[in-house]
């Protein structure tokens, strides 16, 4: 395509569209129809230029023009509480439910891995000595040691905020890195399970596994589930890049990526709850059975939320993607 000839042939249409956009609130009926027609043509022109003769300056101008025209034609949509309700009761739980074939196996395999690491550390003194000196290990695992005081080392509110930030970053890394490769997600999972397994093994070797589980279970069940969901979603996103199935790769990545973005927001809320439990419940003076019961109840509530609300929404066609009206066009509009 001769770009100069193309620009000469269509410049008048683009200028006319720009003029209509400047006075869009005072358009007659005929001018409004003309604006729609010119918007459709400009969108097609932009697609042709991008695919045949990409020119950064011209592409930038037409992209801005098409975006302004699209806003004028479709109107600016304001988010409402109805959108929030739909996201929390349909979009997010449906997306988590649809990813269950990824995050449930990730959770099971990770739990087995952490258990094996814990057993290995607990039954091999030479492994323990390679982690830290015997005196340091005793300081870590003794009653009132660092493992226990960790949860009460800061004011509850600031500790909960710190925990939430760290876990949200881990979940976000799983979602973002999954869009490129699966291996970074697996590495993040391994690091988390390694830390859990080492702590389990050291406390078990000191005969205090019950204390360790009493400290971890109240918040850890929900916290680790959120990390597993993020990791499973990241792995699914990475696999979509490798094998998009019957969908075009670009379309599949766009759909799964938008759903993953929504899941990141939802998981941030879940991690906020687990952070609050870790900040206020784990170091509290409640009996161990009461703290563990709170953690189990939070976990069961989340699973019921996913499998009941999410399963119902998924079976009705909800995917966690944006509503159809909010998505960009998949193909250029014919002029």
Report pLDDT for 163. Answer: 59
Res. 161 pLDDT band, cuts 50 70 90:
low
Predicted confidence at residue 329, as pLDDT, reads 45
pLDDT higher than 60, residue 332: no
CA distances from 310 to 224, 229, 236, 245, 297 (A): 19, 14, 18, 23, 18
pLDDT digits (tens, 9 = 90+) for 282-306: 888 889 999 999 999 999 999 999 9
pLDDT, position 325: 44
The 10 Å CB-count burial string (b at 16+, else e) for 176-187 is bbbbeebebbbe
Quick: pLDDT tens for 1-34: 677 788 888 889 888 888 888 887 778 888 888 8
Nearest 5°: the CA angle 191, 196, 200 is: 145
- Sign, Cα dihedral of 321, 324, 327, 331: positive
Q: Of residues 321 and 14, which shows the higher confidence score?
A: 14
The 10 Å CB-count burial string (b at 16+, else e) for 159-171 is: bbbebbeebbebb
pLDDT at 333: 42
Cα-based angle 292, 297, 301 (whole degrees, multiple of 5): 150
Average pLDDT over residues 225-254: 84
pLDDT, one tens digit per residue, over 127-158 is 988 888 888 888 878 887 776 776 665 565 66
Structural tokens at position 314: 């998924």
pLDDT band for 321, please (50, 70, 90 cuts): low
DSSP annotation string for 158-178: HHHHHHHHHHHHHHHHHHHHH
Query: Over the stretch 179-188, which tens digit does the pLDDT of each residue have?
Result: 666 788 888 8
- Give CA–CA dist 203/142, Å, rounded: 9
Helix axes 209-242, 249-276, angle to 10 degrees: 160
Question: What pLDDT does 160 receive?
Answer: 60
What is the C-alpha separation between 146 and 51, in angstroms, rounded?
60
The per-residue pLDDT of the chain, averaged, comes to: 82
Fill in the DSSP letter of residue 151.
G
The per-residue pLDDT for 322 is 56
Asked if residue 162 has pLDDT above 70, the reply is no
Confidence of residue 326 (pLDDT cuts 50, 70, 90): very low
288-304 and 209-242 are packed helices; what angle lies between their axes, rounded to 10 degrees?
20
Q: Give the pLDDT confidence score for residue 156 in this predicted structure.
A: 56
pLDDT of residue 77: 53
pLDDT tens digits along 241-272:
888 888 888 788 777 777 788 888 888 889 88
Please enumerate, as own/partner, the contacts of 280-285 that have beta carbons within 8 Å and a separation of 24 or more: 280/156, 280/160, 281/218, 281/219, 282/151, 282/215, 282/218, 282/219, 283/151, 283/152, 283/156, 283/159
How confident is the model at residue 97, as a pLDDT? 94
Residue 79 has pLDDT above 80, yes or no: no
Confidence at residue 258, expressed as pLDDT on a 0 to 100 scale: 77
């Amino acid at each position: 395509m001769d770009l100069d000839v193309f620009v000469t042939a269509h410049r008048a249409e683009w200028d006319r569209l720009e003029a209509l956009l400047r006075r869009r609130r005072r358009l007659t009926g005929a001018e409004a129809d003309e604006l729609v027609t010119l918007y459709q043509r400009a969108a097609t022109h932009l697609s042709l230029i991008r695919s045949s003769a990409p020119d950064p300056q011209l592409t930038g101008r037409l992209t801005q023009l098409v975006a302004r025209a699209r806003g004028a034609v479709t109107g600016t949509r304001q988010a409402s509480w109805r959108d929030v309700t739909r996201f929390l009761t349909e979009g997010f739980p449906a997306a988590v439910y649809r990813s269950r074939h990824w995050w449930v196996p990730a959770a099971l395999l990770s739990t087995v891995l952490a258990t094996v690491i814990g057993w290995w550390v607990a039954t091999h003194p030479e492994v323990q000595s390679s982690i830290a000196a015997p005196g340091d290990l005793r300081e870590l695992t003794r009653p009132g040691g660092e493992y226990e005081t960790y949860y009460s080392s800061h004011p509850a509110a600031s500790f909960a905020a710190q925990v939430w930030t760290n876990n949200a970053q881990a979940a976000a890394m799983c979602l973002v890195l999954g869009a490129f490769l699966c291996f970074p997600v697996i590495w993040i999972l391994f690091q988390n399970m390694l830390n859990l397994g080492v702590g389990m093994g050291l406390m078990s070797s000191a005969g205090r596994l019950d204390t360790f589980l009493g400290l971890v279970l109240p918040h850890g069940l929900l916290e680790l589930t959120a990390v597993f969901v993020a990791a499973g979603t990241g792995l699914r996103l990475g696999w979509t890049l490798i094998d998009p199935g019957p969908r075009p790769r670009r379309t599949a990545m766009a759909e799964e990526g938008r759903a993953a973005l929504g899941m990141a927001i939802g998981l941030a809320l879940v991690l906020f709850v687990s952070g609050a439990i870790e900040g206020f419940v784990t170091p509290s003076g409640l009996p161990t059975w009461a703290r563990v019961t709170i953690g189990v109840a939070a976990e069961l509530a989340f699973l019921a939320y996913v499998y009941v609300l999410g399963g119902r929404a998924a079976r009705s066609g909800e995917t966690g993607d944006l509503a159809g009206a909010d998505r960009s066009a998949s193909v250029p509009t014919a002029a």
